[in-house]
Structure 1
Amino acid sequence: MAQVCVTVSLEKIAEDSEVFSTASPDTSVESLTTALEEDYKVKKVLGHGKFGLVQEVVRKGTKKRFAVKVVSSNKQSEDEIQLMASLRHENIVCLHDSLEHDEMLYIIMELCSGGTLRSWIEDRYNEHLNMQVYTAPPKRVLANCIWQILDALKYLHGRGFVHRDIKLENLLLLNAGKCPQLKLADFGMATEFQIGELMTQRCGSPGYMAPEVVRGGYTELCDLWSVGIVFYQLATGKRLWPLTPTHEQHYDQVLAETPLTLKSDAYWNRLGPGALEMAQDLLSLECSRPTAACTIENDWLRKHVLGGDDGCCSIS
């Protein structure tokens, strides 16, 4: 299957919050205390953000590699560990161990060496005639990425938890490759929900936050809106909304433009009938937005995950 190159402006899907960034490995060795270094050797910094630092470590003796997230020890981080310890899914990062020392918590988990879905998208840009050209992934690869995210959410929601921070940075690649295996990570904002009860805390990341989260009354379906944003970015290589000077201006724009209507163009035409409609469903108002369990049965999605011919993986 031929890949399609889509020309976009130099403004790519830049992040408008400080939740994740790449740091130099030169500063990594001094950032962990002896509590962790007794059993692990620090290799490099993988990233840092609002709530902590993420580094690659090697367990002494076994030489096995892990990622460690270093955060302040508090109820939120302790809840994150308890939730991660209860989860077992091939598309969710697996917790290996945890340590506490000097009011710091070290969350030791599965290492995903392929980077983030954001970096994977950015690697699909090339310069051509002084413009940035995005090579959109084949339909089956794109569909498989979305299917993996939905399968993780179907599992998570089925256990009564909502993630509340689905975004490109929190979708990790187990290994580099043309058809990545994704792992949902960072459960710092996850919480238990009750059917029929609204959550009210505004949390998440600008650019991915559902309008009902901005308003302050929402259900687990807020995660599906965020999947719709990820779908849009994978398909087009662009942000759904332009950057704004402040988060509040962005929130005002989201509320002003919903209900949202996606326009058919070359990006969506190349994906075939049904792709735009699926994205539109995910980005609909909460009252009509499908669940993860419903969306994973979408005809377009299953057709291209199961029936593609470009050598990607398949679902059972």
Structure 2
Amino acid sequence: MSKETVTSTSQSQSQSQSQSASSTSGTGSSSLSSAGTVILDSNPTQDLATIPEVEELPKPWGRLWALEKGFWNFVLKRKEHFKSYSKKHCRIIREKGPGSTFVVFIEDHSSNGTFLNGQIIGKDRRLPLCNNAEIAINHELHKVFVFSDLTTDDQLNLPKEFRDKYIISKPLGSGVCGEVKLAFEKANCKKVAVKIVHKPKFAQLVSERGDAAAKCSTSNVATEVEILKKLDHPCIIKIEEVFDFEDSFYIVLDLMEGGELFDRVVRSKGLKEQTTKLLFYQMLLAVQYLHENNITHRDLKPENVLLANNEENCLIKITDFGLSKILGETSLMKTLCGTPTYLAPEVLLGAGAGGYSKAVDCWSLGVILFICLGGYPPFSDQIKDMNLRDQIINGHYKFIPQCWANVSEAAKDLVKRLLNVDPNKRFTTKEALNHSWMQDEDMKKKAKQLMDARTELMLPLSTTDQSSTGRKRPHEEDHPSNTKRPTLSLH
């Protein structure tokens, strides 16, 4: 067969195969190339509608963290937000400021008052709303929200391990040994207090000031942490978590929203006797627990007694164990430490000599009881005719008549027994609890209820309208127009 014949036959077979494939392909078609590849021909494509642009959701620029049960956390996204508390209470507005900046304001539209950081705004007036600002309703102490500006980057300065779990908010207090801030746990919005201790700062302080600043050393912070981990009492601050970073400690603690007992006493110029009894009973139980576990606090004072809330009758917790020492039954302490006004006589007389025992805490409790009932300290460096040291050593104090006119003799008697300069004759916590002034069954029942109550977690984030509970708020009685619990909502 000639070459031409072979070519022709091959082409004929190829065409035949192509036609066969075409006839079985239905609406489409296919062909076999000389290499055996199947080539599919599709019908012409139809034009689709233009892909719509995705509408970009507004980014949150702020958040309101609820400070009281019955209120909700809110994420702020829109330009304006209203808060309803007995009709329209206040409005939060975000406006464009100079350049590309934004300014947030809060406007008061209420008749019973909106407060910003303790300052009343005034009906139809506005004030700038800054990061960590507190919003109160009806009363300057009735704090219901703290505002977080989500456009700030202050969280980036925190250690990553910590900021992954918590959001830091406003400062709660500070001292030579550290600062305390409000924080929220991201997982459940639970409020906590965070004590931050910067190691280099206090190492330098100890170096510069010597023994006087020894209580600020990082080893004392570690001591406080170890003590708190071992304690379990409703009237002693509970440690939640500890972050030990290279340059700082972050200690997560119970949040006590009522602040320090010191501030309440100063604000009220002394407390009612019945209120004092309830709070002092809890202090005695807490210190008794410490002593039974061979722990002496050594720095008891109103600043280290924290209140759960702003209600008159509330739970207390003792805090700040940086000066505590775990003792054996017969151990004595020889370090001169503590706050001068609350030091026991044997601390001043026995430092560096015979030492002193946990009876020093009972003296400090006597000073606290005196301050709560009388509204002034029993010993003070402001008294000119006798220096502070001699006042304490001699037990020299006075019941000023106009300050103690409404205080019972039984209460005064307990003060005297706790402020006995002889530690061997001074009342112990057990003896104080058995004193006639403390034999009040109604008070004890109330204290038990406070200590047994479990802290409720904050409600989850929501942007829907929610009704609050029926529990009456503190200070609501100051406003007769509030006959029922109003509703909080977001519009």
- TM-score after normalising by structure 2: 0.52
Structure 1's 186 and 29: CA in aligned 2 closer, same or farther, altered over 3 A? farther
Kindly indicate whether residue 256 of structure 2 is the aligned counterpart of residue 112 of structure 1. yes
| SS of corresponding position for 1:47 | strand
User: What is the aligned counterpart of 1:282 among 418, 425, 433?
Assistant: 418
User: What is the aligned counterpart of 1:81 among 225, 236, 244?
Assistant: 225
Q: Which residue of 2 aligns with 1:56?
A: 182
Kindly indicate whether residue 360 of structure 2 is the aligned counterpart of residue 222 of structure 1. yes
Deviations 1:190-216 (A, max 9, x none): 111222332110111121111111221
Return the offset for 1:78. 1.4
Deviations 1:85-122 (A, max 9, x none): 11111101111000011231111011001111011112
Q: Which residue of 1 aligns with 2:381?
A: 243
| SS of corresponding position for 2:170 | strand
Kindly indicate whether residue 162 of structure 2 is the aligned counterpart of residue 36 of structure 1. yes
Alignment-mate amino acid for residue 273 of structure 1: E
CA contact (8 A) 1:150 1:292 kept: yes
CA contact (8 A) 1:117 1:168 kept: yes
Alignment-mate amino acid for residue 156 of structure 1: L
Structure 1's 270 and 307: CA in aligned 2 closer, same or farther, altered over 3 A? farther
Structure 1's 61 and 93: CA in aligned 2 closer, same or farther, altered over 3 A? same
Pairing of 1:138-287 with structure 2 (within 5 A): 138-215=272-349, 216=351, 217-244=355-382, 250-255=388-393, 258-260=394-396, 262-263=398-399, 265-285=401-421, 286-287=423-424
Structure 1's 41 and 184: CA in aligned 2 closer, same or farther, altered over 3 A? same
Q: Which residue of 1 aligns with 2:238?
A: 94
Q: Which residue of 1 aligns with 2:83?
A: none
Alignment-mate amino acid for residue 122 of structure 1: V
Where does the alignment leave 5 or more consecutive residues of structure 2 unmatched? 1-130, 134-151, 200-217, 450-491
| SS of corresponding position for 2:409 | coil
- TM-score after normalising by structure 1: 0.79
Q: Which residue of 2 aligns with 1:313?
A: 446
User: What is the aligned counterpart of 1:296 among 433, 452, 456?
Assistant: 433
Residues 262-271 or 279-288, more deviating: 262-271
Return the offset for 1:274. 1.3
CA contact (8 A) 2:260 2:303 kept: yes
Return the offset for 1:72. 4.3
Residues 85-94 or 70-79, more deviating: 70-79
Return the offset for 1:28. 12
CA contact (8 A) 1:80 1:187 kept: yes
CA contact (8 A) 2:348 2:389 kept: yes
Return the offset for 1:41. 0.6
- The CA distance in 2 between the partners of 1:94 and 1:293, in whole Å, is 23
Return the offset for 1:154. 0.4
Structure 1's 252 and 97: CA in aligned 2 closer, same or farther, altered over 3 A? same
Return the offset for 1:265. 3.0
| SS of corresponding position for 2:242 | strand
Alignment-mate amino acid for residue 201 of structure 1: T
% same residue: 25
Alignment-mate amino acid for residue 302 of structure 1: Q
Deviations 1:138-166 (A, max 9, x none): 32211111111010000010001000111
- The CA distance in 1 between the partners of 2:154 and 2:416, in whole Å, is 46
| SS of corresponding position for 2:339 | coil
Residues 114-123 or 73-82, more deviating: 73-82
Return the offset for 1:182. 0.7
| SS of corresponding position for 1:287 | coil
Greater relative contact order: 1 or 2 (C-alpha under 8 angstroms, separation 6 or more)?
1
| SS of corresponding position for 1:69 | strand
| SS of corresponding position for 1:274 | helix
- The CA distance in 2 between the partners of 1:284 and 1:36, in whole Å, is 47
- The CA distance in 2 between the partners of 1:315 and 1:104, in whole Å, is 37
Deviations 1:175-198 (A, max 9, x none): 110112111011111111222332
Return the offset for 1:252. 4.5
- The CA distance in 1 between the partners of 2:343 and 2:410, in whole Å, is 24
Larger-Rg structure: 2
- The CA distance in 1 between the partners of 2:132 and 2:174, in whole Å, is 12
Return the offset for 1:277. 1.0
| SS of corresponding position for 1:288 | coil
Deviations 1:261-302 (A, max 9, x none): 644734444222311110001110212111112211111122
CA contact (8 A) 1:262 1:280 kept: no
- The CA distance in 1 between the partners of 2:399 and 2:187, in whole Å, is 56
- Aligned residue pairs: how many? 274
Kindly indicate whether residue 195 of structure 2 is the aligned counterpart of residue 69 of structure 1. yes
- The two structures, once aligned, show a CA RMSD in angstroms of 2.6
CA contact (8 A) 1:264 1:276 kept: no
Alignment-mate amino acid for residue 107 of structure 1: I
